[in-house]
Amino acid sequence: MAATSGKLRPPFRLLLLLLAAAVARSVDGVELTLLTGAREKGAVCLDGSPPGYHLQRGFGSGEHSWFIHLQGGAWCNTIEDCSKRKMSAYGSSKFMRAVEFNGILSNDQQLNSDFYNWNRVFIRYCDGASFSGDGEAQDQDGSTLHFRGLRIWEAVINELMGKGLATAKQVTRQSFMIHWHSDQEPCQRVIRLDKNHSCFIGTLIKNHVNEFHFSSTHFRPYSQVALLVVWLHYCTAMIFMQDFLRRFQLNAFLMLDFSLILRIYPGRGTCGLYSMELFIFRNKFVDDIEVVKDKKDWGLFIDSCFTHCQTPFDISWNSQASPVLGNKTVAEAIGDWYFERSYEVKEIDCEYPEIDHPVHHPPRTCSVHTRAAATGEMPILPRRRYAEPLLLLLLAAVARSTAAAPDVVELILLTGAQEKGAVCLDGSPPGYHLQRGFGSGEHSWLIYLEGGAWCDTIESCSNRKTTELGSSKLMEAQEFEGILSNNQTVNSDFYNWNKVFIRYCDGASFSGNAEAQDQDGSTLHFRGLRIWQAVLDELMEKGLASAKQALLSGCSAGGLATLLHCNDFHARFPKEVSAKCLPDAGIFLDILCSSEDLSGKRLMWSVFNGTVQLQNVSEVLPKDCLAKKDRTECFLATELVKSITAPTLIVNSAYDSWQIRDTLAPVGSYPGQSWLNCTNDIGNCNSTQMEVLNGFRKKFVDGVKVVKDKKDWGLFIDSCFMHCQTKYSISWSSQFSPVLGNMTIAKAVGDWYFERSKTVKEIDCDSKLRSPVLPRRRLAEPFLLLLLLLLLAAVARPTAAADVVELTLLAGAQEKGAVCLDGSPPGYHLQRGFGSGEHSWLVFLEGGAWCNSIESCSRRKMGVYGSSKFMKAAEFNGILSNDQQLNSDFYNWNKVAIRYCDGASFSGDAEAQDKDGSTLHFRGLRIWEAVVDELMGKGLATAKQAILSGCSAGGLAALLHCNDFHARFPKEVSAKCLPDAGFFLDVEDLSGERHMWSVFNGTVHLQNVREVLSKDCLTKKDPTECFFPAELVKSITAPTLILNSAYDSWQMDPFLDSHGPVAKLTFGIAVPHKSKNKFVDDVEIVKDKKDWGLFIDSCFTHCQTPFNISWSSQASPVLGSKTVAEAVGDWYFERSYEVKEIDCEYPCNPTCSSQLPT
């Protein structure tokens, strides 16, 4: 198949576009608050537990503004339905977790500019009648079902009134906003369809409408209430909407939900009839809301997109993919309506065009729409064209779901900030995030300056001080990725350095030294220079002063700050210290928008001039420049580089996306949409626009020409359309990192810093613009499919996000001698079972390779695989998921993930002296025993069903401890083992070395693992050989299913990577096949074992149970017509006579989404 380039085919653009918003940014997880005194008030969930809500406090101008969002989730209309519901988060707060705030609930100012700083409340739905019922009934088991939705509504609102809602104000009016949506159709059980497709409404839905929609008395005390009613559903609207709208006297904004059409109208086989029914549906809705057109202060946003719920999701709320009516996105329309910025907002979309042929991309803005029902294809397609590489960027953000997640590093506030006068714009102390180095990086330091534009007027700085870019009060912990990552694979040169991320809160690139009076009479503190000096001084005391290697970096405004402070940073160290600077995206140009399409203004000059004058940045500017030129000109990077003496490498795009969008072609500087289309998708740029962009590039290249003659300096100037590349793993070092001179950014920076190359001065060509992080190498379409599938598994199911389960540390660990490598207590994550799974247990052992020498174990104890000090809460996915659809057999079991911190598959029992004199504790066996003993006390002892599983090194541990696990239960308990990717082979690699033998041999002897090995094996063979699964399976008596790839990607790496591309070309697929044959031979013994199972696929992967995509999805491997999840379930519950499947040789299985590299 030919490689793709330029544009993706529509299905690729479609799926990636829909998923873009889910990965484009991190979102807040807001904790659950349970209602106080719920039982006394009779305000309880179906099961009698207290209801809950999530509150995120407002700040700044939004401190006294409130937004209330009522969760949706269908209804229960029979005792049986409500009984089932009370065993879930929709009927009991026992199952509720923290939630992410997206869309209209987001605190991202760019995404949600009107409401981002409001007090935002998400009230959980646990009554089954849209917060409207007031009764009770006896459940089938004799307990009480509490139908107290109305009391929940009243009690929660009353509690919020006491928390500040009573004093809510917006401008001068008393107001707050009520937001209601449902994410499932009301017709699901209540509605029945006859041959004419008419609706019959049951008693419950009548009660629902009468009691909820018409109970406007709840709001009458508030004369200026804004009611946002979203998603009035088909059946409810058909019967009740006209009457409801006439009787309701409050301000409202209505939106239509089209997503029920296919469920309500089953006539899919005939396109003509189906099309007619769609229009009947729309026309009935439009007729029913006709009354709204004459209602003052009301609004309408009725689009024709085939979707459901648009406000709670970033992509539909306010993004390039948001529906647009009257030139407004959903967010803009609601903001204009609420704040009365428009005379009126009453938009009703036109009829759905070309219903028989919707794939023709009708020229409107819905990112999703219906297909002709008869096609049977996915009913969504993008309305706009997007460049493939932008989508690749968004895709790759989650394509590495199996890699270690970025570390989250806590904020440290500067000590004595007020006394030093080193404060943020609002007077709060500045902050930074410090992650200590280890091993060879213990005395190496990387300082990274945050970016975030500038403020150049009193008004803009006043606005800024109410955000995290002007106040530490709003700063939170930070993820470290890219050049800050501690992942050796992603960041091989700097992963173990001391890394510091200094927060930016002054608005002048850490350079100002002044103050001014704000509009409200308070003081605006422009103390960026003092912040720089004070934070560096504090870091010098924390070890920076004794650094042997140091690097100052930063991105955007932080990149400019790197240039401003480079000489000062370099001067702080002795000459023998390698202190260098790495500004990223810090070269901002003084460009004149002289094209006939543009305004002719010097926008960058204007911003810098205001900043320089307002904040008094003269002290950081080069003296030689100030003697000849204006201060503003000296603030430009093209002048700064002339005065810098320290070794510096400039990383930048010659087509910097931020400057092109915000200073070269900002909105308003040109007529029409031509430049907007160009800057949103560079594939849409015409020849004239390309001339302007190439002129920008030429000016950029001219500005850095001085660097070419500077010794010890470097350049990495690519032609990708992006801004900031060092701080993101995808652009720093991945398959999508820009490549110049056969070097990724990470490799180029490393080669320059460590002087592995004589020179690193790369400037990309200008023959053709590349989009964000588009690689030079050509990507085959199958590879895009693989990445797409990975992304789908990570984000395609936003209503069923993985539960985040907190860490539990083992009680009395030190007394039991059951400790991690560093002596800290081990930990596990326990999620309680419920319903039919209350007495069933799944114990999962974490994997993560081994340490087989003092040196490797010493390094390991400084991370999450050797110390619980670094462990965080864990997401439960795959076989650990509580999503019934994804994990139907085990979703409601008690599930335990035991963390791996010993380095010998939970098997060692020894200790040794580390190089620094401390003790290395090899106590994996004691950890296993102590944690399982603790779990036995928590209910495992009374289990009726139990599985021991684990992945990789944890899969090997599942084999090592399988007999012990099985022996802990009575014979009538179904206790079985499921090792995943734990079958490691003793084979020679391409160099003739026995790599796995070497690793295992060191581990076995260093950590003393003999106690867990088979006694039969030890009488005949070496302990190392007995540590291999091929020997272990001979001694296991418990029922076991071996799940593995015969082409295990982790084990194949020595074959395909360690010896370079020559080895790949020479040996081709022969070596993997040889490995596969060895694997099949080793598991041959299993074929004759009763109650055992095999699921040996030929996919190039490693670990398949802990990930949704491989466990149970469209991309899960299939053998014998079963996915992994189905095969495991059939084997465990004995639904099949036997499950012993071994795949054919690669590449015969088309269901493998992971393929061998070529």
Catalytic residues: 556, 656, 723
Question: Which residue in 1008, 988, 946 sits closest to 971, CA to CA?
Answer: 946
User: Which DSSP string do the residues of 1006-1040 spell out, in sequence order?
Assistant: HHT-GGGS-HHHHTTS-HHHHTSHHHHHHH--S-B
Dist. CA 586–CA 638, nearest whole Å:
10
The DSSP secondary-structure symbol of 211 reads I
- Report phi then psi at 399, rounded to 5: -65, -20
The CA R_g of the chain, rounded to the nearest whole Å, is 31
Contacts of 1146 (CB under 8 A, 6+ apart): 1046, 1047, 1069, 1072, 1073, 1076, 1098, 1100, 1152, 1156
Q: For residue 1010, which phi and psi values (nearest 5 degrees)?
A: -55, -35
Quick one: tokens of 877?
A: 């996915």
- Burial code of 283-299, b = ≥16 C-beta within 10 A, e = fewer? eebeebbeebeebeebb
Q: How far is CA 714 from CA 201, 704, 759, 804, in A?
A: 73, 10, 7, 44
Match 């944690």 to its residue by tokens: 931
How big is the CA angle at 911 (ends 908 and 914), to the nearest 5 degrees? 125
- The answer to whether the beta carbons of residues 265 and 197 sit under 8 Å apart is yes
How far apart CA 962 and CA 688 sit, in angstroms, is: 70
Q: What is the dihedral of CA 811, 813, 815, 820, to 10 degrees?
A: -170
Residue 369, class by beta-carbon neighbours within 10 Å (0-12 exposed, 13-18 middle, 19+ buried)?
A: buried
SS3 93: helix
* Strand positions, DSSP E, 170-223: 177-180, 192-193, 199-200
3-class state of residue 1124 by DSSP: helix
Residues making up the chain, counted from first to last: 1158
| Contact call for residues 888 and 1129 (beta carbons, < 8 A) | yes
The answer to whether 546 and 443 are in contact (CB under 8 A) is yes
Task: Report CA dihedral (30, 32, 33, 38) to the nearest 10 degrees.
Answer: 150
What is d(CA 798, CA 890) in angstroms, rounded to the nearest whole number? 21
Closest CA to 143 of 92, 74, 205, 95: 92
Q: How many Å apart are CA 902 and CA 906, to the nearest integer? A: 6
The whole-angstrom separation of Cα 991 and Cα 1066 is: 13
For residues 812 and 917, is the Cβ–Cβ distance under 8 A? no
Q: Alpha-carbon distance 8 to 779, whole Å?
A: 11
Q: Of 341, 481, 301, which is closest to residue 406 (Cα–Cα)?
A: 481
Closest residue by Cα to residue 486 from 864, 752, 952: 864
Tokens of 368: 């999703």
- Angle at the Cα of 195 (from 194 to 200), degrees rounded to 5? 20
Q: Is 31:96 a contact under the CB 8 Å cutoff? A: no
- Please enumerate in sequence order all residues whose Cβ is within 8 A of that of 34, keeping only pairs 6 or more positions apart, or say none: 50, 51, 52, 93
Look up residue 893 and give its two tokens. 């079991």
Q: Is the peptide bond before 1147 cis (omega within 30 degrees of 0)?
A: yes
